[in-house]
Amino acid sequence: MRVVWSLLLTVLALPLAAAPGGGELYAQNCAVCHGADGRGGVGVPLALPSFLPSVSDDYLAATIRHGRPGRVMPAFTQLSNAEIQAIVAHLRSWMPPGSKVVTLSSQAVKGDVVRGKALFAERCAVCHGANGEGGHGTGVTFSRPRDLPIIAPALNNPGFLAAASDQMIKTTLMNGRDGTPMVSFLQQGLSERDIDDVVSYVRSFAAEAGWKPGNDDTPMLEMDSPYTLAETVEAVKRAAVGKNFRIIREQSLENGLFAATQESKTAHIVYFCNFNFINQALALDPRVGLFMPCRITVVEREGQVKMMSINPKYLSRLFNNAELDKPCEEMYQVYMGIMEEASL
Ligand code: HEC
Ligand code: HEC
């Protein structure tokens, strides 16, 4: 019981403590897989001079937020947007001196999916798998020097597809990533048109990935609201109180993460809790503390207000602790119930 209380106090004290910087957050959350210096391990290398300048902050932030469901890279749903931005800044500190991040247009690539599919089978499947499911295993293989030194990531992955823009995929194919088995396909004899076709094929995986809210594989639950951002925040608070939760605080942020499109503006987070529930869940598994207090984020994207929360069912799968299935199912019902009620 004492352990539970001290954990609970830690969790409650967290928001008051000084915010850890990006380097510290990286050491806590990422170094175990990507290496203290970003040279890779269970995770792919992040510090490569051919990687960092070629991807946007949005790509890095969205990758951290969504993870790669079904692969080893976790979704960091518990980190705030500010924390994610701090980690991104830390990754940027590894950029080669004097280098700049390329600016990519947001223009969609329009290629021939059927041609792209054939080219993919010919040129990419050997490493990325017949359906883009990625190589066997992940990250860097230190122990088997004769295999690929770096395992090809999954491309049909909902987390990857949500984070990567068409132009980012195209740039990766055009330039390759020096220092990895991923070569420039322009140099391998593909034309720019061939590459556009392959990009369109890779993008077509998105439709099959079936990343829908309510699915256990989805790290985030999402629901549209018919109201304005401010009205939705109030409706979420009323609905949470109606379900015996106490509102702890609200926070508004100038949002980095959802700024994949220029139109996006602000996000608002409502934090709430129910001490009985927290106690019960913490007693079962202290890791639950990472996701407390409960929170629902309200965002406006392209004129549409959305409510979002972590998906507790996804967490229960990630934690792999059968005892958590029941509280996670309860929490799932709570989140869905609050969002449904707030959108009535
Ligand atoms: C020889 C093996 C190999 C081949 C062939 C190959 N790739 Fe790769 N690819 C990799 C590896 C390894 C990486 C990871 C590089 C890194 O660590 O940054 C990668 C990275 C990528 C990425 C970036 C993924 C991410 O998570 O950042 C994309 C997109 C990609 N490859 C697409 C393709 C496509 C499309 C083809 C075919 C035209 C192809 N690759 C052919 C090995 C390969
Ligand atoms: C449990 C291991 C693990 C942890 C922890 C982890 N990652 Fe990863 N990460 C991976 C793996 C594995 C991949 C490659 C995905 C694949 O193979 O399909 C990856 C991919 C990535 C990519 C995409 C790289 C590319 O070439 O496009 C980024 C960016 C990334 N991770 C950043 C982070 C950051 C930042 C953290 C900490 C907040 C983190 N990761 C924590 C294992 C991990």
If one residue of 73, 84, 141, 290 were mutated to test the ligand 2 pocket, choosing by the most ligand atoms within 8 A of its CB, it would be 73
pLDDT at 274: 82
pLDDT at 19: 63
Does 313 lie in the same domain as 287? yes
Asked which of 168, 186, 209 is the last residue of a domain, the reply is 209
Does 292 lie in the same domain as 271? yes
Count the domains in the chain: 2
Domain annotation covers residue 19:
no
Q: State the ligand closest to the CA atom of 138.
A: 2
Phi, then psi, of 150 in degrees rounded to 5: -130, 130
Instruction: Kindly provide the b/e burial profile for residues 260-275, where b requires at least 16 CB atoms within 10 angstroms of the residue's own CB.
Output: beeebeebbbbbbbbe
Tell me how far the alpha carbon of residue 34 lies from the centroid of ligand 2, in angstroms.
7
Does 332 lie in the same domain as 226? yes
pLDDT at 209: 55
pLDDT band at 309; cut points 50, 70, 90: confident
Structure tokens at 293: 């207090």
pLDDT at 129: 92
Contacts of residue 293, Cβ cutoff 8 Å, sequence gap at least 6: 11, 248, 271, 272, 273, 278
Domain annotation covers residue 163:
yes
Q: Which domain holds residue 230?
A: 220-342
pLDDT at 178: 92
Does 224 lie in the same domain as 195? no
Domain annotation covers residue 50:
no
Does 337 lie in the same domain as 231? yes
pTM, 2 dp = 0.67
Ligand 1 atom, smallest distance to 120 CA: 37
Does 233 lie in the same domain as 335? yes
Question: What's 187's domain CATH number?
Answer: 1.10.760.10
Does 316 lie in the same domain as 232? yes
Rounded mean pLDDT of the chain?
82
Tell me how far the alpha carbon of residue 133 lies from the centroid of ligand 1, in angstroms.
12
Domain annotation covers residue 95:
no
Ligand 2 atom, smallest distance to 139 CA: 12
The rounded distance, in Å, linking the Cα atoms of 25 and 61 is 14
Q: Is 308 in the pocket of ligand 1 (CB under 6 A)?
A: no
Q: State the ligand closest to the CA atom of 139.
A: 2
- Which residue's CA lies nearest to atom 9 of ligand 1? 182
Does 165 lie in the same domain as 250? no
Does 164 lie in the same domain as 132? yes
Angle at which helix 192-209 crosses helix 166-175, to 10 degrees, equals 130
Cβ-contact 170, 195 below 8 angstroms = yes
Q: What is the mean pLDDT of residues 293-310?
A: 84
Domain annotation covers residue 295:
yes
Question: What's 334's domain CATH number?
Answer: 3.30.310.70
pLDDT at 142: 56
